[in-house]
Amino acid sequence: GAVVSQHPSWVICKSGTSVKIECRSLDFQATTMFWYRQFPKQSLMLMATSNEGSKATYEQGVEKDKFLINHASLTLSTLTVTSAHPEDSSFYICSAAGLGLAGAPPYEQYFGPGTRLTVT
Amino acid sequence: AQSVTQPDIHITVSEGASLELRCNYSYGATPYLFWYVQSPGQGLQLLLKYFSGDTLVQGIKGFEAEFKRSQSSFNLRKPSVHWSDAAEYFCAVGARNDKIIFGKGTRLHILP
């Protein structure tokens, strides 16, 4: 149980285009989803927290107009990188926390496998 | 402010040797502590977690960690490492309704 998927696993896009990354909780309802960014050989940096049906809460320094997050259902959140540039190239990881997980506190996060974004 | 410190950026051990990865945290409330492992290009896998109770926590793949409140530490240990344990290890701290804060990670190298 507690499986989180991401799609795509990797994507290459041209500078100036937008790309959407999906994060799905497969066997539980994710009341909260988190989006992280990880640069090579570095730790995960939280970008934003999204609660189903609400606007995302962005961390300081993260451009909300550039990184659009939608959490329209209890099993799906999307991150759209708008007008991507090479400096947006990174590994994006989502995690999900929620109800319906036997024995799991609501704040325990389950991580997706990540999406490698390369902007050329 | 809450923080997690992993003082060792790289650790190299021989296969079959014991391992200890250090983690210190700073958090105002009772912490919830995690250890995650990440293989190259992969997401994070939870090794173990501490919420309350017994301060010695057993995890997957033969790992264990001990919570020491007096030292604000949550070190990860394994009695005998395998080549497949080579990866990046992240210690993290979180609390109810709060975010998870990750350490900078320790890269584990295994010598044959």
Q: Tell me, what DSSP letter sits at residue A74?
A: T
Q: Tokens in use for B74? A: 């949550």
Placement of tokens 């919420």 in the chain: B51
Q: Report the distance separating Cα A68 and Cα A4, nearest Å.
A: 20
Q: What is the pLDDT of residues B52-96, one digit of tens each?
A: 888 999 999 999 999 999 999 999 999 999 999 999 999 999 865
Give chain B positions within 8 Å (CB) of A44: 44, 90, 102
Quote the minimal CA–CA distance from A3 to chain B in Å: 11
**Is the N-terminal amide bond of B40 cis, ω within 30° of 0?**
no
**B69 neighbors B53 (Cβ within 8 angstroms):** no
DSSP assignment, residue B59? -
All residues of chain A having their beta carbon less than 8 Å from the beta carbon of residue B94 are 107, 109
Q: Using CB atoms and an 8 Å cut-off, which of residues 89-108 of chain B contact chain A?
A: 90, 94-100, 102-105, 107
The tens place of each residue's pLDDT in chain A, 120 residues long, gives 678 999 999 999 999 999 999 999 998 888 889 999 998 888 899 999 988 888 899 999 999 999 999 988 889 999 999 999 999 999 999 998 865 554 455 467 889 999 999 999
